[in-house]
Amino acid sequence: MLDKKYFKAFQNIVGKENIFDDKAHMIAYSYDATRERYEPDAVLFPKDEFDVSNILKYCNENQIVITPRGAGSGFTGGALPANGGIVLAFEKHMNKILEIDTKNMLAIVQPGVVNMDLQRHVEELGLFYPPDPASEQYSTLGGNVSENAGGMRAAKYGITKDYVMALRAVLANGDVIRAGKRTIKDVAGYNVAGILTASEGTLAVITEITLKLLPKPKYASSYMAVFPSVEHAMNAVFKSLSAGANPVAMEFIDALSVRAIKEKLGVELPEDAGALLIGDVDGNVKEEVAFQIETLQKSFEENGCYTFDVAQEKEKREKIWYARRNVSQCVTVYGSKKLNEDISVPRSKLPEALNKIYKVGEKYGFNVPCFGHAGDGNIHVNVMVDGSNPKQLENGHKAIEEVFQLVVDMGGTLSGEHGIGLSKAPFMEIAFNKAELTLFKSLKKAFDPNNILNPGKMGL
């Protein structure tokens, strides 16, 4: 419960219609996709950047902690108000597309704009915003920037950071900063927009985002390739890319996941598939698309692919993608609780990484179905356990820790897209040395000396 005098002060800033501390709101803003729960003391809906600045200034002076929140779809607890305090939510007012500059091919948006709304809006103008996290229908651009979200199209088009040109943000003391410009090139000063991207609400509150746009490609096709084993598929990933293939997406589903999809959804997939690679290619002329398909097929077949299907029509393309889009819910056939991590390794290390990950599963007696964005070296590793069995849960967490260690030993990272938040904070020491962690802490102190912004997240 927020002290009455604080409540009154916030009411004066945002208006009484934009502050809530009733039980229903506290519950509604206590979750994210981790399904952990922490109730805040109040939820505030700022009307604009001026409100955000006044709220932060007041919180900083009174040591009230703040958790910025997008749609609460994060998988690592970034938006959870783990220390109570204020949740700052942007979906009510700060959710506007402010400008589409077609001459300079950029969009300026407020943080609460839903990713898909921007995609649809710019596509009507023949433009394209490529980052498409699977949560695109509801996750916000503020959340996407703060987590540096990736998506299915990352293999060709990169991830959120590749589109952030500039940000406006409010520092913990209420000061407003601009980081970056509308220019393609900008090497004046530190890359503060780069530092704020993926900072998970721990350094500043983002109030405006300038995003690069591309022309919308005119043609696309989808493909599905079947391989006898995960090793063949993983070799095909990096070999086809270094042979010149440039697919929009190159998604991977392993044999355990294929079996789960067949069992749960009754989808027709090859019985003996050791692994699938599924994806899209695109281009502005049909020949470019055909060339991409040929390059992929040739390289895949050199690496053991024995079935390669291509689809151009929307319906057939959707059929190809159906398995990949639904795999996440299907793997629950192997256990009631999914310990899901999104590790990333250099692509050439994929065969070795997958091999070692399965061995960790065998050691503990767990099924570990894996799938994900192989074209980016980013794999969703799912250690499946019986959630009602404490021993299995304990061993599941041990298995995850071993997976993190082997991935880091290979030059990989704890997270390719979901961030650190609360869930992965205990593993930061596996991935970063003392000097690196000290630098993170110094940065945090420079931006937020009183530690009011999302304290405890990312281990800070």
Ligand X SMILES: Cc1cc2nc3c(=O)[nH]c(=O)nc-3n(C[C@H](O)[C@H](O)[C@H](O)COP(=O)(O)OP(=O)(O)OC[C@H]3O[C@@H](n4cnc5c(N)ncnc54)[C@H](O)[C@@H]3O)c2cc1C
The residues that touch ligand X, with contacts defined as CB under 6 A, are: 32-33, 67-75, 78-79, 90, 111, 133-135, 139-140, 142-144, 146-147, 149-151, 200-201, 205-206, 417-418, 454
Which phi and psi angles does 22 have, rounded to 5°? Answer: -75, 160
Residue whose CB is less far from ligand X, 14 or 305: 14
Cα gap 371→354, rounded to integer Å: 10
DSSP-based three-state secondary structure for 300: helix
Residue whose CB is less far from ligand X, 77 or 304: 77
Residue whose CB is less far from ligand X, 274 or 412: 412
Q: Residue 224's beta-bridge partner residues?
A: 278, 309
Shortest approach of ligand X to residue 144 CB, angstroms? 4
Q: Residue 164's beta-bridge partner residues?
A: 211
Shortest approach of ligand X to residue 150 CB, angstroms? 5
Cα gap 171→331, rounded to integer Å: 42
DSSP, residue by residue, 382-436:
EEEE-TT-HHHHHHHHHHHHHHHHHHHHTT-BS-SSS--TTTTGGGHHHHS-HHH
Q: Which of 370, 453, 358, 412 is nearest to 65 (CA)?
A: 453
Cα gap 1→163, rounded to integer Å: 40
Residue type present at position 330: C
Shortest approach of ligand X to residue 170 CB, angstroms? 9
Residue whose CB is less far from ligand X, 78 or 351: 78
Would you tell me how many other CB atoms lie within 10 Å of the CB of residue 315? 7
Shortest approach of ligand X to residue 268 CB, angstroms? 25
Residue whose CB is less far from ligand X, 93 or 356: 93
Residue whose CB is less far from ligand X, 113 or 224: 113
Shortest approach of ligand X to residue 6 CB, angstroms? 20
Residue whose CB is less far from ligand X, 111 or 459: 111
Residue whose CB is less far from ligand X, 294 or 318: 318
Cα gap 323→261, rounded to integer Å: 7
Shortest approach of ligand X to residue 457 CB, angstroms? 6
Cα gap 192→181, rounded to integer Å: 11
Shortest approach of ligand X to residue 182 CB, angstroms? 20
Would you tell me how many other CB atoms lie within 10 Å of the CB of residue 330? 22
Q: In Å, how far from its chain's centre is CA 414? A: 13
Cα gap 303→318, rounded to integer Å: 26
DSSP-based three-state secondary structure for 204: coil
Residue whose CB is less far from ligand X, 289 or 330: 330
Q: If phi over 0 gives left and psi between -120 and 50 gives alpha, with beta otherwise, what is residue 444?
A: alpha
DSSP-based three-state secondary structure for 281: strand
Shortest approach of ligand X to residue 459 CB, angstroms? 13
Shortest approach of ligand X to residue 456 CB, angstroms? 11
